[in-house]
Chain A
Amino acid sequence: MRKFFSNPAVRETLRVIIAVSIALALGFLVTLFVSEDPFGAYKAFLLGPLSKFNRFGDWIEESITLILVGLSVAIAFRANMFSMGTEGQLLLGALVSGSIALFVPLPTILRIPLAIAAAMAAGFIWGWIPGYLKAHLDANEIVSTLMLNAIALKMYDYFLIFHIKAPDAGYNASDFFPVEGSLPSFIPNIPIFERAYALFSDKTNITIMVYVLIIAVIAAYYLIYRTPFGYKLRMVGANIKFARYGGIDTKKTMILVFAISGIFGGLAGAHLSMAIHTKLIANISVGMGFEGIVVAILAKINPLLIPITGLAYGYLRAGANVMERSSDMSREMIFVIQALIILFVTAERFLPTIQKRVEERKENNSHAEKIAPSDGGSHEV
């Protein structure tokens, strides 16, 4: 029994489960006090996304964005680079893809891939910049990425307000993307898939981005674990001095890490603009970049686990949406729950505190008893 609990993987999972449970319990407590119908509200929250197809679609859509930003963050964090830049990459990705969707006169089959590719390129560039600054000038990547986020936001707003939005529009948003620039549903409208189409495509908004996502997750996994670059990334993250000693060009690796992380950020932006909103609006990013950090950390920066945490997180968000629409509770409550989950999961001393203390005491006792004979081994004294 004890062996089972001392397995680190088991402990980690337990810790996440306990943290989530505590957070959800606290959330329920709050609901009890605030809502007229706490049980109904919380039921809507916990089961909502599964109750109807469009809510289910909502869940998947939210999750796609979250998984993409999570991957973006994970790639950088895995190499020990604390890039906060996903937000900015996301904005530029949305801007670029939205512009192409709206204005480039190409047929769908060309326009959409171009938009997606452009979003990825924009993210790549916006990631490359802080990477270069860190590698060659040792510039603090937290400050540089935060600044670039702000600049990206200004660029986005500028183009949206002054060039993209219709001159007589009431508020800051573009027109809806034309058909040629909109992502088709993930199930094509052809005879073979009639039934599926009727079930899913009509009722949900899930687009072909879901396939792009699957490719992205697999690509991220392959990149990190199955390519020479991924090896370099992981070694730089594990011990940068070791990487250098072993011959790895750490500067080049650093820059590429930031840039590739940017690609995923840009992709997330493309999803936001072309799938979720199908237009460009002000405040399109709503702090998604930071939520990406949460998704990545909960998954222990493991790209294979990010889809899971992304879906879980997305579930919470979708559930909160349902709860808001069908009760008197506002969806923002989930932010508090999210924050609690993060805090408890990332507190290194949270659960292990008791176990650690027991272990430390055992070590101290055995230390005093041991007096080994001199064996002349080398030891720096």
Chain B
Amino acid sequence: MKFDLVFKGIFSAMFLASIMRISTPLILPALGGLITELSGSINIALEGVMLTSAFTGVVVSAFTQNVWLGVLAGIIAGILFSALLAYFHLYLETNIILAGTALNIMATGGTIFLLYILTGDKGNSSSLASKMVPVVEIPFIKDIPVLGTVLSGHNIFVYAAIVLTFLTSVLLYNTKFGVHLRAVGENPTAATSLGIPVKKIKFTAILISGFLASLGGLNLSMAYLSIFQREMTAGRGFIALAAVYLGGRRPWGTFLAAILFGAADALSNQLGTLDIPSQWVQVIPYAITIIALVVYGIQRKAQIVEQTRRFQERELAKVNNNHTTT
């Protein structure tokens, strides 16, 4: 009986729509992680960026009673936070993992600290009258039966996520900056030999990832929920990194991988009513990522062995020919 309902629930438009909403705060930081990854840095501070922007957005929107000022403030806060990471890593030569971990700790603690000061509450910001971003109803589409529910009626960040994935792809593959960024990440010596400023590009990449991640954070506190909660990012910054690898380090792959994580989350909620522990389903994307790592590793090994074998065969054939002719 229940199974019936759940089954219907999963294959409903509402469910697909919920996947979109749940995946958005994963897609956005994942895109940021992708950009830094391709420039040769691991941005382990996405978590901190998201918390910082989520918090700033809520506070500023509450005090100015203007949702857009809140969003702007959140973005600026996120970018400044990332600038700290970039500065410590690129100019003061701190190991990026250490700097990132430090900044994450600072963000986690700092946001709770400031929350307490501003509201006297350490749990969430419900006492603040913060704003939520608008929901978009697309004119014609919203009236189409199934598609309407899935595509229309989302908050702006959901659409932003899709558009930004596209823009990220354009940036990376269709602009000079993107080419230089990828060159810096893959062969910095070659880039330097051609006059490409490696440090400047890495710095910019970190700032861009800050921008993207901050949108993800704002999404959490001003769209998904209407408040800031302590530690509300719940590891999304790290899942974002996993999505980058799972997605083969390409924009749409990352997008899909993030959706996979989001879908597992959504699914686990549905199945919860069937008394299937949500954890079983939530674990799936993580397990898949590890399996992907394993498969990739095996593939690469086989590739190398195969390549060497083929070349060796070819060369020995040549050598043998020489022998027989001389």
Contacts and interface: CB of A to CB of B under 8 A. Distances in A.
B105 A335 contact: yes
A342 B109 contact: no
A119 to B, nearest CB: 21
B116 A349 contact: no
Contacts of B113: 330, 332-333, 335-336
B103 A339 contact: yes
Given A137-B301, A150-B238, A342-B101, A158 B109 contact: no
Contacts of A339: 102-103, 105-106, 109-110
Interface in B170-227: none
A333 B97 contact: no
B149 to A, nearest CB: 30
B268 to A, nearest CB: 10
Interface residues of A, number: 45
Main secondary structure of the interface of B (DSSP, over half): helix
B239 interface: yes
A333 B109 contact: yes
A329 to B, nearest CB: 9
A144 B286 CA distance: 9
A140 interface: yes
A137 B286 CA distance: 18
Most buried by B among A151, A161, A291, A293: A151
A342 B245 CA distance: 28
Nearest to B290: A147
A161 B92 contact: no
A294 B280 CA distance: 32
A334 B280 CA distance: 36
A142 B96 CA distance: 12
A347 B92 CA distance: 5
A137 B95 CA distance: 25
B109 A338 contact: yes
Interface string B274-303: 000101101100110110011011101100
B277 A162 contact: yes
A346 B95 contact: yes
Nearest to A157: B279
B1 interface: no
Contact of B93 (A138, A335, A349): A349
Nearest to B299: A137
A137 B298 contact: yes
A40 to B, nearest CB: 17
A34 interface: yes
B28 interface: no
B238 A294 contact: no
B319 interface: no
A350 interface: yes
Given A142-B97, A332-B112, A291 B105 contact: yes
A377 B42 CA distance: 44
Interface in B32-70: 42, 44
A127 B91 CA distance: 34
A154 B286 contact: yes
A145 B296 CA distance: 16
A155 interface: yes
Contact of A336 (B109, B122, B238, B277): B109
B266 to A, nearest CB: 16
Given A330-B112, A342-B101, A347-B92, A158 B293 contact: no
A349 B92 contact: yes
Contacts of B270: none
Contact of B297 (A139, A149, A150, A338): A139
A291 B101 CA distance: 9
B18 to A, nearest CB: 20
Contact of A138 (B97, B103, B108, B300): B300
A275 to B, nearest CB: 23
A246 interface: no
B31 interface: no
A287 B242 contact: no
Given A330-B122, A343-B102, A143 B289 contact: yes
B241 A146 contact: yes
Contacts of A342: 98-99, 101-102, 105
A104 interface: no
A154 B283 contact: yes
A335 B108 contact: yes
B293 A140 contact: yes
Interface in B99-132: 99, 101-106, 108-110, 112-113, 116-117, 122
Q: Which 10 A-B pairs have the closest CB atoms?
A: A335-B109, A137-B297, A339-B106, A347-B92, A342-B102, A158-B279, A332-B113, A348-B93, A154-B279, A330-B116
29 contacts: A82-B97, A133-B290, A137-B294, A138-B300, A142-B44, A144-B290, A147-B287, A147-B289, A147-B290, A149-B238, A151-B283, A157-B279, A287-B105, A290-B104, A293-B101, A332-B116, A333-B113, A335-B108, A335-B110, A336-B113, A339-B103, A339-B106, A342-B98, A346-B94, A346-B98, A346-B99, A347-B92, A347-B93, A348-B92
Given A139-B297, A348-B93, A349-B91, 10 more contacts: A143-B241, A143-B289, A146-B238, A146-B242, A150-B283, A154-B286, A332-B109, A335-B105, A338-B102, A347-B93
Interface of B: 42, 44, 88, 91-95, 97-99, 101-106, 108-110, 112-113, 116-117, 122, 235, 238-239, 241-242, 245, 277, 279-280, 282-283, 286-287, 289-290, 293-294, 296-298, 300-301
